[in-house]
Each structure stands twice: as structure tokens, then as C-alpha cells.
Amino acid sequence: MSNRSLFYKVFFSALLAGCSVSPEYERPAAELPETWNASPARGQAIPADRWWSLYDDATLDRLVTEALIHNQDLALATARLDEARALARVTDSTLAPAVDASFERDRTRSSERSSVPLPPSVPLERNNYRAQLNVAYEIDLWDRLRNTSKAAHADLLATAAARETVRISLTADVVRSYYTLIALDSQIDATKRSLSLRANDLRLQRIRADAGLINEFTLRQLEAEVSAAQAQLPVLERNRTGEELALGVLLGRNPRALINDAIARDTRNGAPVTPVVPADLPSSLLLRRPDVAAAEQRLIAANARIGAARAALFPRIGLTGYAGSDSADLSNLFSGPALIWQLGFALTQPIFQGGRLFGEIEVVEARERQALAQYQKTLQTAFFETHVALVTQVRAREVYDAENARARSLQESLRLARIRYVNGLTSQLEALDAERNLLNAELNRADALRAQRAAIADVVKALGGGWEGFSGAASTAPAR
């Protein structure tokens, strides 16, 4: 499109719209299903700002609170929000008149050889005092300033949404890390119990081997089982140390505290509470995700900047004026005869700027198309992440139920294998197999419980902070 065609298009659009050259914003259509049906259970409606309270864990509550106060990523996002708020205030100031006051004092000397000599009564050297109030105001006829302000406020809302994204991600990361630590604690405890039993069996079997009651093959098998458990333990302890440090960073602790301060855990022996996600969540929850909201606000800002760029093609009308007093004698400065004032207006119409203004319009229109594509992409990503998270939390619960049932069965299997061995009905190797299987099952059960709890955090993160306002029956289920 040529510059002339673009100008005529903008000009006649402005006339039809009553002097507004701003394109009307309409939210892009989002083709989403009405609901997700990923969970057969009913769930609890929770406040989005404290979604982690679903876990009913006071220790977790304290850790999340600590992270929200001290985490540096959140502090950075908060500082950016403060900056955006200040920038919006600066932009808003252009909508109001600019008023300032001035006071001047000068001393001058006139030439004695001037072509127009001064009267004898006028001294060659004299003082002058001037005090005045200045006012300037631009009539925003084409909404240039209002669109600039609208864009700044949209940027502010986008920055606020970006901070909320950081906050939700932080709380979800703390939950995942915390329950990973608890899972590692459980795995280490199970490994130590198994190692203690195997070491005790090995001690007894060595006595029996010395007495010739068992063969060397069985003894070597026992030694290998003990070594296998010993090899697992340092790996788990290393992983726990790494997870403690990672959680400490999320909590915003300084390097010394990371090394010296242990991370508290809930040590209750009762059944852990695991939240249940409601069934048939409305897909419209996606639109409140902070990253989706931020993308839409950036689109709104880009739309408003088109209006501001188009308005630059049209005349600017400015009103100026001042009122004050001017006197050669300070004592008479504020007397009636010293009064001065001025009122005026200025009209500025761009004529030729080498295509700069038309280029700026094309720039902001291209940026709006980018913002639209980013919004659509963000919405698609949000749907994908939410769908995967909902399916994952259902499957994670099924996996935990299966692993829990397996561990219980293997506990009974080990008890029966030991009875059979004591009664001479089977060899020590059968009991070893049962013990090895039980340890693996307990390790898997701890990891499955971690995955189930983490899956809930992923659902909350994918939904942008939970499912507040959804009318489902309150439900939290103990892990079976």
C-alpha cells in the first residue's frame, strides 16, 4: 500500500469514526472444547492464591511462604512490575496540562553609544524581576495520547500477569521439590531397613557357612545383595542433597544457609493427603492463565499503538499561556501595573518527513500481527499443557494405587517366605528374592506418590493457579 493510499484510508476512517483513528480491539476467537473430562473424581474449589493448602501440610505452607518472600526471581518480576506501573504513570501525565512556575532576575547595562540614546532619567544599569506561571496543554483530538496511555496500561497488566506466572511457577516448583525430598527420604529409609535386614542375615549365614550348614554359593549371593543395597544408598543420599540445595535456592536462602540449614519436612506417620482434581473443568479456565492474559494485554497494547501511530499523521493542537508580573523593582513585582499574561495556540501539521510516519505505522501493524500470533500460540500451548497435566494426574494416581497394592502384597510375600525358610520349606534365596522385590516396590511406591503430588501441582500451574470458583464437592483423598 502506498503512503498516499494509507493516508487516505486513515483520514476517511477517522472522519467516519468521529476523529478516532484507533482500530477497534476484539478478542480473537478461541476454539476450545467446553470442558475437559480427565478425572472421574470430584474436587475442591480453592483460592488460586493459596492452592497448595490442598495438601494440608503446615510445613509446606511455611516453605511456600518463605519462597514468596525471599525468592529472587519473584523479586525481579516485582521490580519489573513497579517499573511498568511508574511508566504508566509517566504516560498518563501527558493527558493533563503541564504547569510550572518560574522566577527570573537579571541586571543589564545599556550602551552609551547606542544609536537610540536613553533618556537621562533612565539609568544605564538596571535590574529586572519576572515571576510567572506557565501552562501548556495538547488537545488530544485524534486520541494519540490516549492510545499511548492505553498501551502503557496494557503493558502494565501484561507485566502484572508475567509476575503472576512467576509466582505460580515458583509455588509449583516448591511443591514438587518438597515432595521429591520426602520421596527420597522414604526411599533412603526403605533402603536402610533393607540393608539392615540383609546385613543381619549375612552375619547369621556366615556363622552357618563356617559350620558347613550352607554352601558358598548361597553366602556369595547374600554378600552381593548387601553390596547392591549399599551401592543404592549413596546415590539416593546424593540426590537428596542436590534436591535440598535446589529447594533452598527456590526459598531464596543465601549460600551459607543452603549449606548449614536443613529443609524441614512433614514427618507425620499418617496417610498423606493428596488432592483430587474436579471432573469436567471448563476449558474457559485457560483464558485466566496469566501467560494467556499477558499475551492478550500485549495484543491490546499493540492495537493501541497503531492508533497512536496513525494519529501522528494529523495536526497537533497545543494551547500555551502564562500569567505573572514583570518589574524593574522587586517591591513592585506583585503590583497591578506589573501584571503580564499571554494566551496562544499552536497547530502543527506534518507535511514531509521522508516516509518516517508511514514507516512507523507499518512497524506497529507488523508488531500487532506478531502479538496476535503469539497470543494464538500461547493459547494452543496452554491447552496442550493443561490437557497433558490432567491426563497425567489421573494416570499418576492409577500408578500409585498399583504400586501401593504391589508393595503390600510383597510385604506379605516376604513374611511368608521367611516363615517357609525358618521351617525349612525353601532356601534362603527365595527369601532374598522376596526382600529384593519388596525394596524395589517400596522405592517405586515412594516415587509414584511423589509423581502423583507433582501432577496436581502441574495441573494447578497449567490452569493458572487452580480451579477457583468451580462448583465441585470438596474432596481430598488420602493416598491409599
Helices vs. strands in the chain: H and E counts, helices first: 9, 8
Tens of pLDDT, residue by residue over 93-109, are 999 999 999 999 888 87
Which comes out higher in pLDDT, residue 301 or 5?
301
pLDDT surpasses 90 at 188: yes
Distance CA 367, CA 451 (A): 41
Checking if the pLDDT of 263 tops 60, the result is yes
C-alpha cell at 436: 529384593
pLDDT at 276: 65
Per-residue pLDDT, 275: 64
What pLDDT score was predicted for residue 38?
52
Question: Residue 201 — very low, low, confident or very high, per pLDDT cuts 50/70/90?
Answer: confident
Q: Tell me the average pLDDT across 386-411.
A: 92
C-alpha gyration radius of the chain: 38
Instruction: Compare 160 and 127 and report the one with higher pLDDT.
Output: 160
Q: Percentage of residues in the chain with pLDDT exceeding 90? A: 51
- Number of Cβ within a 10 Å radius of residue 230: 13
* Residue bearing the bigger pLDDT, 480 or 101: 101
Does pLDDT of 155 surpass 50?
A: yes
Residue 286 near residue 31, CB atoms below 8 Å:
no
In this prediction, residues 200-223 reach a mean pLDDT of 80
For the chain, domains (ranges, CATH) are 3-106+124-478 (1.20.1600.10)
Q: Are the beta carbons of 88 and 151 closer than 8 angstroms?
A: no
Parallel, antiparallel, or unpaired for β 476-478 and 125-139? unpaired
Crossing angle of helices 356-422 and 3-16, rounded to 10°: 80
* Residue that wins the pLDDT comparison between 36 and 406: 406
Q: Give the C-alpha separation, 409 to 402, whole Å.
A: 11
State mean pLDDT over 313-321: 94
d(CA 341, CA 336): 12
DSSP state of 2: -
Q: Which three cell numbers stand for residue 412?
A: 506379605
Q: Are 127 and 104 in contact (CB under 8 A)?
A: no
Which is higher by pLDDT, 323 or 277? 323
Question: Residues 333-344: what's their mean pLDDT?
Answer: 87
Q: Give the 3-state secondary structure of residue 105.
A: strand
Binned at pLDDT 50, 70 and 90, residue 478 comes out as very low
Cell numbers at 133, concatenated: 506561571
The pLDDT, as a whole number, for residue 472 is 46
**334 pLDDT tier (thresholds 50, 70, 90):** confident
Q: Of residues 331 and 400, which shows the higher confidence score?
A: 400
Cell digits for 175?
511443591
d(CA 3, CA 313): 11
- Lowest-confidence range among 81-95, 120-134, 384-398? 120-134
Q: How much is the pLDDT for 361? A: 95
| 147-161, 173-187, 209-223, 462-476: segment of lowest average pLDDT | 462-476
Residue 41: helix, strand or coil by DSSP?
Answer: coil
- Residue 242 pLDDT > 90, yes or no? yes
